[in-house]
């Protein structure tokens, strides 16, 4: 039994000041407003906050490690999982950029291993988020053009049971759209979110194909019009990838993809909450339009996150540099962020002006509910004890996964901690 006493507990509907939280057998056994009275060790956390563990559904890497790293001696996904608890993350979707099929297979194999055999003192590994090969080249951002493919070619090939007929333009163009779809189908249980541009030829059919197989289809890196976006939502899309970024701007005569997402309750929207990718005023506007229950705070973090300014890393095999606010390709193109989830929570509190309850909702509760993680993402009796202790500045002091202390600021955690149960 672990008893955490004295902190303000951020519950789903209120903040319980000077509360006590009891952890038993990996779950929250009790929440009360009084102090413990006997027998058990109490940790005094006066002036601290306890929030549900952060869940990042869009993170490419951290601390110099990228999901697509080729490290024969290392497992990139497991390495990222081990590093994220220091930032308050208790579960995450390993996220890829458009890549070759063999690279996609390597990542998805790592995701499967991490989910089947969770590693101790690490964040939970959830099914992957693929910023897929089926995005609009005009809104690709830092994605590699040579890896982009046609949804129509993928589906036509799948139906024919043979490789597609795309023209091969060069040395990097030696795989087909069908090869990518085959990897997704091979690893279906380990593919959670798939980002695509529905306006591409065959895009709506690909939305239907993926949704029918249980994947969460996300609209992003897309030039879809308002009407095209609504058609994709009707076809089964339920997610929007980093709202406002890599899509046409919202205007009063052409609301576009942004307008469709803001007005449609079926879709939950990611927002990069660093205050740079999206201005705090627009973060506030999006949350007001959709409510905290329909918005995810994400980092879009890269391997440059957690590194010092000017440090070098990689994103999908391409060199990036840690800038002051974003990661950058060599030509200056923004390539994801250097944000971590603890910092996202701080931005939501200090710059966006959210309440503790709403900040915890979009950093933990909404992603847990949308991904079907029953018992996760909230502080409540019988909930899974994935939680974070924050100091008065909202910096991470301790992180617990399944009731096990996996990170403590300035301390080593016990080497015999049990791994978290798979979800």
How would DSSP label each residue in 214-264? Answer: T-EEEE-S----HHHHHHHHHHT--EESSTTTTSPPP-SS--HHHHHHHH-
Long-range contacts of 409-414 (CB under 8 A, 24+ apart): 413/121
318-359 pLDDT tens trace: 999 999 989 999 999 999 999 999 999 999 999 999 999 999
- 274 assigned to active site: no
132 with 316: CB under 8 angstroms? Answer: no
Q: Print the domain residue range for 303.
A: 53-377
CA 6 – CA 48 distance, rounded (Å):
8
Which of 63, 66, 274, 300 is catalytic? The answer is 300
Closest of 87, 90, 81, 88 to residue 113, by C-alpha: 81
Does residue 76 lie within any of the structural domains? yes
- Which pLDDT band, with edges at 50, 70 and 90, does 168 fall under? very low
DSSP 8-state code for residue 283: H
Decide if 361 is inside a domain: yes
Per-residue confidence (pLDDT) for residue 37, from 0 to 100: 54
Q: Does a structural domain hold residue 16? A: no
Write the pLDDT tens digit of every residue in 221-231.
Answer: 999 999 999 99
Q: Any idea what DSSP says for residue 135?
A: S
In a domain, 407, yes or no: no
Tell me if 130 is assigned to some domain. yes
- Flag whether 387 is in a domain: no
Q: Which residue has the tokens 């950058």?
A: 328
- Predicted model pTM: 0.93
Is 384 exposed, middle or buried, given 0-12, 13-18 or 19+ CB atoms closer than 10 A? Answer: buried
Please report whether residue 112 resides in a domain. Answer: yes
pLDDT digits (tens, 9 = 90+) for 110-158: 999 999 999 899 999 999 999 999 999 999 999 999 999 999 999 987 5
Q: Is there a domain that residue 383 lies in?
A: no
Taking each helix axis as running N to C, give the angle between helix 203-212 and helix 226-235, from 0 to 180 degrees, rounded to the nearest 10.
30
Closest by Cα among 303, 266, 261, 253 to 278: 261
Structural domain total, the chain = 1
Mean predicted confidence (pLDDT) in 371-400: 97
CATH no. for residue 122? 3.20.20.140
For CA atoms 195, 197, 203, 208, the dihedral sign is positive
Q: What is the rounded CA–CA span in Å between residue 312 and residue 19?
A: 44
* Rounded Cα–Cα distance for residues 260 and 222 (Å): 13
Query: Residue 160 region, left (φ>0) first, then alpha (ψ -120 to 50), else beta?
Result: alpha
Question: Tokens at residue 173, please?
Answer: 């163009």
Structure tokens at 166: 């795309």
């Amino acid at each position: 039994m672990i008893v955490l006493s004295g902190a303000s507990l951020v519950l789903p509907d209120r903040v319980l000041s000077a509360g006590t939280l009891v952890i038993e057998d990996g779950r929250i056994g009790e929440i009360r407003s009084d102090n413990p009275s006997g027998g058990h060790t109490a940790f005094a956390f006066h002036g601290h906050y306890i929030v549900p563990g952060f869940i990042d559904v869009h993170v490419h890497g951290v601390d110099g490690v990228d999901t697509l790293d080729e490290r024969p001696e290392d497992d990139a996904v497991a390495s990222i999982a081990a590093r994220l608890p220091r930032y308050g993350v208790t579960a995450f979707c390993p996220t890829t950029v458009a890549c070759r099929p063999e690279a996609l297979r390597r990542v998805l194999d790592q995701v499967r291993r991490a989910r089947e055999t969770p590693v101790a003192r690490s964040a939970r590994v959830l099914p992957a988020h693929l910023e897929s090969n089926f995005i609009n080249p005009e809104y690709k951002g830092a994605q590699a053009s040579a890896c982009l493919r046609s949804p129509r070619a993928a589906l036509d090939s799948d139906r024919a049971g043979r490789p597609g007929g795309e023209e091969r333009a060069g040395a990097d163009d030696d795989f087909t759209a069908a090869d990518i779809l085959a990897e997704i189908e091979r690893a279906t249980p380990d593919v959670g979110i798939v980002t695509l541009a529905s306006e591409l030829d065959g895009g709506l059919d690909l939305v239907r194909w993926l949704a029918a197989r249980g994947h969460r289809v996300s609209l992003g890196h897309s030039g879809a019009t308002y009407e095209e976006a609504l058609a994709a939502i009707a076809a089964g899309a339920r997610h929007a990838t980093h709202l406002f970024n890599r899509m046409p701007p919202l205007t009063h005569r052409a609301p576009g993809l942004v307008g469709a997402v803001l007005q449609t309750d079926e879709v939950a929207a990611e927002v990069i909450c660093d205050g740079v990718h999206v201005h705090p005023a627009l973060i506030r506007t999006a949350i007001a339009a959709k409510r905290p229950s329909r918005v995810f705070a994400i980092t879009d973090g890269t391997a440059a996150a957690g590194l010092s300014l000017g440090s070098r890393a990689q994103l999908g095999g391409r060199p990036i540099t840690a800038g002051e606010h974003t990661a950058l390709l060599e030509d200056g193109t923004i390539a994801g962020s250097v944000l971590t989830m603890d910092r996202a929570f701080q931005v939501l509190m200090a710059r966006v002006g959210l309440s503790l309850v709403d900040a915890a909702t979009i950093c933990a509760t909404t992603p847990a509910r949308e991904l079907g993680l029953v018992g996760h993402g909230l502080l409540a009796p019988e909930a899974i004890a994935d939680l974070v202790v924050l100091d008065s500045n909202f910096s991470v002091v301790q992180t617990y996964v399944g009731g096990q202390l996996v990170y403590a600021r300035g301390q080593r955690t016990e080497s015999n901690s049990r791994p978290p149960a798979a979800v």
